[in-house]
Structure 1
Amino acid sequence: MMEPAEKPQDPPVSVTKTGPSVDTYQPQTITLAEFRSLTRNQQKKHMRHELWASQAEEYKSKQRQRNRECRKRRNQRLAQEAAETGITAHQRKKQRLQAQVRSGHCIVLDMDFEDKMEEKEIKSVCSQVMRCYGANRMASKRVDLHVTQLHGKIRERFETAMDQHVGWSEDHIVMRDAEYIDMYDKDKLVYFTADSPNVIDVLDPEKIYIIGGIVDKNRYPRLTLDKAEAQGIGHAQLPIGKYIKLSTRKVMTVNQIFEMIVRFVDHGSWKTAFQDVIPLRKFKEGDIEANDDENDDDDENNNEEEGDDDDAEKDQVVEPTQDIDGAGSDHK
């Protein structure tokens, strides 16, 4: 259902104060003279991309192995639970779906950014849509999830490499090639963007909340905020800073934003939602107590809906952004 890479992981190489230095770095794809002619920031970016490229395959392989191990542990746990309770994993999933209720909240994933993404970024954002669908199925209170502006290469990918979406329940996701501005009352629309000065504390069931479906590595600052302002609709950001101290900017992937919203709808606590979803590496030291075992449990639980699609695993591993190491995409 969703791709097996549950949470974006740290990239294989991070350029930090203790990492490689541009002063001693030997470039691989350009001459040293060309490298020295670049600005300091350009040198850092070029070095980071070369380091990533040199270790990307090894990193992807480790990620796939980790996902396989998570699935193996989960299957062993489910087999033990089935032996003890007499309830199989399939029966338990069926019971959970039968107990699930509709929350009344509506979330839109705006996919109208295909022309601003490269091929691997399109693959990544499609994988993130899969994860949103899975999170909605796992929730005790599902939201109305709509994917809009589904056309071009994004639609093509869903119809080919990710054709399993044809079996997705419309209770958990509706995909269409339409513009949200034509689907809903304009006064009810609110675009989530990290650049908005407006911070929400509660979700209004009368509002339609929009998440920008883009992976752009910060090439387009204020993209979704500018779009919201041009359309004359509302905009806001989640109250992350009120509850959590982060060591990085409040920029998240599409599915992280969606999962935080679903967790909040389920439990009514922003702090719990943020702590459950935001990768631990983004927290400032001492702000939260957690451990790797908890992360593994989350991985295994998420894999319950996913399957063994290695292509989906590969899609989720992309180069780090300049602002958040290891993030697959930026929520604008």
Structure 2
Amino acid sequence: MLLGQDGLVEGAGSEDGISESLELLQIEVDWESPERESLPTGAAACCSKNVQRKQKHWEKIVAAKKSKRKQEKERRKASHAGHTASCPQHSKRFLRALTKERLLKAKDSGPRLCIDLSMTDHMSKKELSRLAGQIRRLYGSNKKADRPFWICLAGFATDSPLYTECVRMNDGFSSYVLDLTEEDCFSLFPLSTLVYLTPDSEHALEDVDPNKVYILGGLVDESVQKKVTFQKAREHSVQTARLPIQEYMVRRQNEKNYHSEILAINQVFDILSTYFETRSWPEALKKGVSPGKGYVLQNSVG
């Protein structure tokens, strides 16, 4: 504003002068209060309040979700604790150690089962694969048994095609808890303790004796020749026995009129293992003799 020496406005009578003076006054005020530029306008203030309100709402949602997750975690923890109290959970390492201990105990106190693998030289690759699969299933059943047998694979060379097939098909085969030897089963045990199980024997097996060693011939259906295992047992003056299929089962009519008492080694083992635990031949035979063999339990015939 233009002031004279006496403090009076000069040129106040001019309308243009008043406008110019007002503009200068506005410039001076703005220059004296720079902080006014940083204050939000009405629209900006309103926008800021909306953002704050949404932020608070979002924080409430997040807090509620965290609280819900925490409650769910505590509920699962309490449920798991209750389940563990009634049914203790063990690590896989502990269970493997427990299984190994049970199998090793059978070496001293349980019955023995010897698989005679000395007749595999002329088997085809397909037959060897089937036999390797039967060995895997037999070992798996023995691991699960409450009263396991001690297993011995006799006449089994580590450089044989069968060994290669077992390693290929069976995970962890090299760590199986059993005996593996190239020696013949007839030179491993006293002959008086051996019982060769063969379907051609005249004597039905009546019981499973822990003091005996039961021998199974390592053959598959394709390679079975009549009385091969029976003749081999007689050559060494070894006792023979057959499963009591004829005593507890009867032939069942089928379209192919097929009936066979020749079983895979894992099926024979399932029968022996079940009988050793239950002392029931009907229950054991029902588990091991598949319907495809053409036999059923006597009391199953209507």
Distance 1:267 1:235 in 2: 23
Normalised by the length of structure 2, the TM-score is 0.60
Aligned counterpart for 2:261 among listed residues 250, 255, 266:
250
Structure with the greater relative contact order (CA < 8 A, sep ≥ 6): 1 or 2? 1
- Letter paired with 1:262: S
Bigger CA drift: 277-286 or 181-190? 277-286
Percent of aligned positions with the same letter in both sequences?
22
Asked whether 1:148 is paired with 2:143, we answer no
Measure the CA separation in 1 of the matches of 2:156 and 2:186.
14
**Are 2:300 and 1:288 equivalent residues in the alignment?**
yes
Q: 1:209 to 1:90 in 2, by over 3 A?
A: same
Residue in 1 aligned with 2:141?
135
Which ranges of structure 1 fall in alignment gaps of 5 or more residues? 1-81, 290-332
Residue 177, structure 1, aligned to residue 189, structure 2: no
Give the conservation status (yes or no) of the 8 Å contact 2:251–2:295. Answer: yes
Cα shift at 1:285: 8.9
TM-score by length of 1: 0.55
The letter of the residue matching 1:146 is: C
Match of 1:75 in 2: none
Q: Could you tell me how far apart the structure 2 residues matched to 1:84 and 1:174 are?
A: 42
Deviation at 1:231, TM superposition (A): 1.5
Give the residue type in structure 2 aligned to 1:106.
R
How many pairs align? 205
Tell me what 1:116 maps to.
122
Aligned to 2:95: 94
Matching residue's letter, 2:234 = E
Specify the alignment match of 1:312 in structure 2.
none
**263-272 or 277-286: bigger deviation:** 277-286
Q: Which has the larger radius of gyration?
A: 2
Give the partner amino acid of 1:283.
Y
Match of 1:275 among 273, 283, 286: 286
| C-alpha distance 88-107 of structure 1, shift in aligned 2 (>3 A) | same
The answer as to whether partners of 2:286 and 2:297 remain within 8 angstroms in 1 is no
Question: Root-mean-square deviation (CA), in Å?
Answer: 2.9
Name the one with the larger helix percent: 2
Q: Are 1:237 and 2:248 an aligned pair?
A: no
Task: Note closer, same or farther for the CA distance 1:89–1:186 as it changes in structure 2 (3 Å cut).
Answer: same
Superposed, which structure 2 residues align to 1:213-232 within 5 Å? 213-217=218-222, 220-232=225-237
Gap change, CA 1:109 and 1:89, over 3 Å in 2: farther
Q: 1:84 to 1:264 in 2, by over 3 A?
A: farther
Q: Is the 8 A contact 1:123 1:157 kept in 2?
A: yes
